[in-house]
Amino acid sequence: MKYLTLYCLLFSNASLFAQSVLVEYNRYQTFLTGENRAMIAARSPTLVKKFENEYERFELITNARQSKYRYIEIMYKDTLIPRGNSTRANATIYLDCVQKYVYHIENTMPDKVGRDTLLRIQDWKIATGEKEIAGYSCKKAMGTDPNGYEIIAWFTLDIPIQQGPAAVYGLPGLVLGVESKNYNIFAHKVQLLSQVIAIKMPIADTYLTLKALGDESYTKLMETVKRSKKEPQK
């Protein structure tokens, strides 16, 4: 009941938060552990080094009602490690918390728009623990995403808006960190803007479901990979 009261109070404050926020996040792969790492290392040690050397940078622009989360670029921990060819199929994700929709636009198919009903992370529970991220004190929450995966979210009450990276939202403060089975996301830069920025949602004559959009994008990605393998090396 105490948390519910706090949640309602902060939700009210969020509607009065007359600013937008620009956040840059770093996204790290976490699947290269245990058996996964050993299996890939047995096939290609170079590939493991490449995966572990890379991380991705994303940008979030958000207000109390909408957000836009987009891929920016691949980053490298060590510039001396060979980079090889990196293929990314990242979606720009839009949240409309007023109309309750989530939109995806894949970078490989910019002319198609995926849209589904926005599903809140299930069973958020505030947990013991605090972490400082990008200069902000963050509290810990645990939940289950719409795909059934458990996640840990770190949110700050200093910015009382219920947004975060990708489609992680619904906590009484901006989410600056996410830990999951396959990836970790942490903010490294937070900028409070002086005014509310309107974020336009994608418009299409026909919307695909997110599953249909993802399946089509994956098929296209695999076709690109096969063509690249057949092309003669220069």
Average pLDDT over residues 47-73: 88
pLDDT value for 231: 58
In angstroms, how far is the first alpha carbon of the chain from the final one?
65
More confident residue, 77 or 6: 77
Number of Cβ within 10 Å of residue 5's Cβ equals: 9
Buried b / exposed e over 78-116, threshold 16 CB at 10 Å, is: eeeeeeeeeeebbbbbbbbbeeebbbbbbebbeebbbbb
The sign one gets for the Cα dihedral 97, 14, 60, 56 is negative
| 155-166 pLDDT tens trace | 999 999 989 998
Question: Which of 2-11, 27-36, 94-103 bottoms out in mean pLDDT, i.e. has the lowest?
Answer: 2-11
Helices 34-43 & 45-53, crossing angle to 10 degrees? 130
Query: Helix, strand, coil proportions of the chain in percent (round to 5)?
Result: 25, 40, 40
Q: What is the pLDDT of residues 111-158, one digit of tens each?
A: 999 999 987 666 789 999 999 999 999 999 999 877 788 899 999 999
Residues 6+ apart with CB under 8 A from 78: 53
86: tokens are: 């990196």
